[in-house]
Amino acid sequence: MNKGKLIGIGVGPGDSELLTIKASNVLKKVPIICAPRSAKDKPSIALNIVQDILDERILEYKTLEPVFPMIENQKSLKKYWQEAANSVVKYLDDGLDVAFVTLGDPSIFSTFSYLQKIINAKGYVVETIPGITSFTACASSAGINLVEKDEILVVIPKVDERLNDILSLGDSFVIMKTSRHNDVLEEYVNNDSREKEVVSVQNCSMENEVISYDFVKNKKYLSTTLLKFKK
């Protein structure tokens, strides 16, 4: 029997209409949907984005919802990743394809990458379907461009001391998870004397989207700040 393949599907930032046609077509027919959640008592955001497509399916499907917690302990995280891989492999061995839905794009700060490495190492076929990234969607919502001509764009996964070290090296910055350390971010940026433009987007493209032309002022999880230094 041929083995099934793992398909990482980027579902975009939140609006289901931002899914690609290819992603939608695969979701309409793949037999197994794997949708990670950050905790057992929290719903999968990625699954919610694609639920309307799944509800319209004619073919039956099964949903896996492994827990990928937001913790720093690498030993504990590897245990969760391995458990997810084991549940996926069971279906791949039965010849069934598994679609792993992930926010944004599978290649950019995605939980899919952890599972991808394990499944690849076991010799199974893995493919990805790109999705609209959160930060390009944020720029679209805010009505701004990120870079032009020969400007340098830097993407920062979180606020820490590395940001302070490289601010002088870029022209535009995408800074993710800014609700966690907004005070530190504001201090770093304000220490730079260049004229700047700051835009923060929370829950991008969702019904509760919030756009502010300033730093983040609350603790919502899905927060991204776009920073542009003017020449």
* CATH code at position 44: 3.40.1010.10
More confident residue, 71 or 7: 7
Whether 65 contacts 37, CB under 8 Å:
yes
Residues 103 and 138 in one domain: no
List pLDDT tens digits, range 83-116: 999 999 999 999 999 999 999 999 999 999 999 9
CA dihedral 42, 44, 48, 53 (to 10 degrees): -140
Residues 14 and 120 in one domain: yes
Is pLDDT of 179 > 90? no
Residues 10 and 106 in one domain: yes
Residues 124 and 166 in one domain: no
Residues spanned by the domain of 209 = 134-229
pLDDT score for 183: 87
Given pLDDT bands bounded at 50, 70 and 90, which one contains residue 213?
A: very high
pLDDT score for 100: 98
Residues 162 and 198 in one domain: yes
Residue 1: inside a domain: no
Q: Tell me what the mean pLDDT of segment 19-43 comes to.
A: 95
Residues 17 and 116 in one domain: yes
Is pLDDT of 220 > 70? no
Instruction: Specify the pTM.
Output: 0.92
Give CA–CA dist 5/145, Å, rounded: 37
Given pLDDT bands bounded at 50, 70 and 90, which one contains residue 81?
A: very high
Helices 112-121, 74-93: axis angle to 10 degrees equals: 60
Portion of the chain with pLDDT greater than 90, in percent: 83
Mean pLDDT of the residues in the chain: 93
Q: Which amino acid appears at position 132 of this protein? A: I
Residues 71 and 145 in one domain: no
| Domains of the chain: total | 2
Instruction: Pick the range with the lowest mean pLDDT from 27-36, 125-134, 152-161, 219-228.
Output: 219-228
Residue 185: inside a domain: yes
Is pLDDT of 26 > 90? yes
Give CA–CA dist 125/107, Å, rounded: 16
pLDDT score for 82: 95
